[in-house]
Amino acid sequence: MDFNGFRVVWEGLTGHRGWKPLWRDPDPKPAYDIVIIGGGGGGLATAYYLATVFKEARIAVLEKGWLGGGNIGRNTTIIRSNYMLPGNQPFYEFSMKLWETLEQETNFNSMVSQRGILNLCHSDGQRDAFRRRGNAMILSGADAELLDTDAVRQMYPFLNFDNARFPIKGGLLQRRAGTARHDGVAWGYARGADRAGVDLIQNCEVTGLRIEAGAIKGVETTRGYIGAGKVGVAVAGSSSRVMQMAGLRLPIESHVLQAFVSEGLKPCIDGVITFGAGHFYVSQSDKGGLVFGGDIDGYNSYAQRGNLPVVEDVAEGAMALMPALGRARLLRSWGGLMDMSMDGSPIIDTTPVDGLYLNAGWCYGGFKATPASGYAFAHLLATGQPHPTATAYRLDRFARGLPIDEKGMGAQPNLH
């Protein structure tokens, strides 16, 4: 127990000189059994579950910047399991169950808040589709409720119910969904992994993969060569760049997604609301800022920033759904790199290189998957077999004609 009321008071009285860093800052050893590339949510969760659940030793996480500095620190913090297809929904429900015990597991306040997510529908056809999705969710063990207009009005009376183009006809509610403190998730996993003996090595960029006779031997980094029995790649938007070092081309394009936060307001939105028809979703952080976003910009990008047309599009969506938002001022906006796969679903699989494993293709939905992504990747690294909920996330599923196309858009990443 590092944090408790007595400790906070004591440190407050003694000038806060007693706090210690939450994890070590070790130099890389010459070799490890398992090297994870990428110290974000996925990489840290993988290392944590490898060390704690699968009892692996000699593990390192290599991060080119600082821990949790990528998409785990740039998302809009929503957790949910409201997918439909059989390859997806059990996995996300597994993730939801891990979220529900995450704080007890890592003993870190990740502020997991099951405040519910409401997807709005605007037509009979969309309601039918939501009913089908809700039934698929229930079949996987998740919860789902179909609300009519009056029930939505009771929850959020300030929405624009009579919009001429998109009148609100109801919604699909998942009460167990919600939000979590994204940085706290990364820090909880990082501290847990560090205490279990994992070396978290920051400012260590991988510059090459050493492959001999079709098997991985280690990684070249800016801090020297590091030998490795197995290498797991969990680098999200940079997946194509890292796997190119192994001579592999991926079914992935990197795109930019923007997010926004308003000035702090008094509590007004207690759950998460999504307005898919208008490319807009919103929740309110515990600090009071409205956190919202929309669609990806739609063109390949590694810039970690987007352009103004999407800002305008999101603002229009906001005004169409919640006219009162027009009185709030935008505090800041930012962009993150999305590893958009060809079917909008992720990849957790082995690769043609022996000992090289890939965890990628999370599109704009990786945050909610963080616990299960790490667990399933650790399962694959430790046992060589995919986790039972992640058997469909194969790298060769496109060639075999088994994509998991949740939105039915085909092989066009900017439409997912």
Partner 1 sequence: MLIPHPLLGLRDAQEFTYLGDASLMSPPPSDDPEALERHVHLRDNPAGLLRELWFHEQGDRSWLVVTRDTRTHEILGAELATDIRREGAR
- Min separation Cβ 331 and partner 1, Å: 24
Q: What is the DSSP letter of 165?
A: S
- Of 202-261, binders to partner 1 (CB under 8 A) are 238, 240-241, 244, 249-254
Q: Which is nearer to partner 1, 288 or 298 (CB)?
A: 298
- Where is 150: in which H helix or E strand? helix 149-155
How far apart (Å, rounded) are the C-alpha atoms in residues 201 and 244? 22
- Min separation Cβ 271 and partner 1, Å: 33
Contact predicate 379/335, CB 8 Å: no
Could you say whether residue 336 binds partner 1 (CB under 8 A)? no
3-state secondary structure of 137: helix
Q: Which is nearer to partner 1, 128 or 205 (CB)?
A: 205
How many residues sit close enough to partner 1 to count as binding (CB under 8 A)? 25
- Min separation Cβ 184 and partner 1, Å: 30
Looking at 277, 342, 356, 404, which residue binds partner 1 (CB under 8 A)?
342
Contact predicate 92/80, CB 8 Å: yes
Q: Report the 10 Å Cβ neighbour count for 93.
A: 23
- Min separation Cβ 371 and partner 1, Å: 27
Sketch the per residue contact string, 262 through 301, with partner 1: x for CB under 8 A, - otherwise: ------------------------------------xxxx
Q: Which residues pair with 224 in a beta bridge?
A: 221
- Of 380-399, binders to partner 1 (CB under 8 A) are 398-399
Q: Which is nearer to partner 1, 204 or 250 (CB)?
A: 250
Question: What is the DSSP annotation of 67-83?
Answer: TT-SGGGTS--EE----
- Min separation Cβ 239 and partner 1, Å: 8
Q: Which is nearer to partner 1, 190 or 248 (CB)?
A: 248
- Which tokens is 88 given? 């997806």
- Where is 194: in which H helix or E strand? helix 182-195
- Min separation Cβ 86 and partner 1, Å: 21
How far apart (Å, rounded) are the C-alpha atoms in residues 391 and 192? 27
Nearest partner of 63 among 196, 258, 236, judged by Cα? 236
Q: Which is nearer to partner 1, 105 or 297 (CB)?
A: 297
Q: Are strands 59-62 and 199-201 parallel, antiparallel or unpaired?
A: parallel
How far apart (Å, rounded) are the C-alpha atoms in residues 377 and 182? 20
- Of 295-314, binders to partner 1 (CB under 8 A) are 298-303, 307, 309
Nearest partner of 207 among 248, 170, 231, 242, judged by Cα? 242
Q: Which is nearer to partner 1, 158 or 299 (CB)?
A: 299
- Min separation Cβ 91 and partner 1, Å: 21
Q: Which is nearer to partner 1, 227 or 298 (CB)?
A: 298
Could you say whether residue 160 binds partner 1 (CB under 8 A)? no
- Min separation Cβ 315 and partner 1, Å: 15
Contact predicate 407/345, CB 8 Å: no
Residues that bind partner 1 (CB under 8 A): 238, 240-241, 244, 249-254, 298-303, 307, 309, 342, 398-399, 411-414
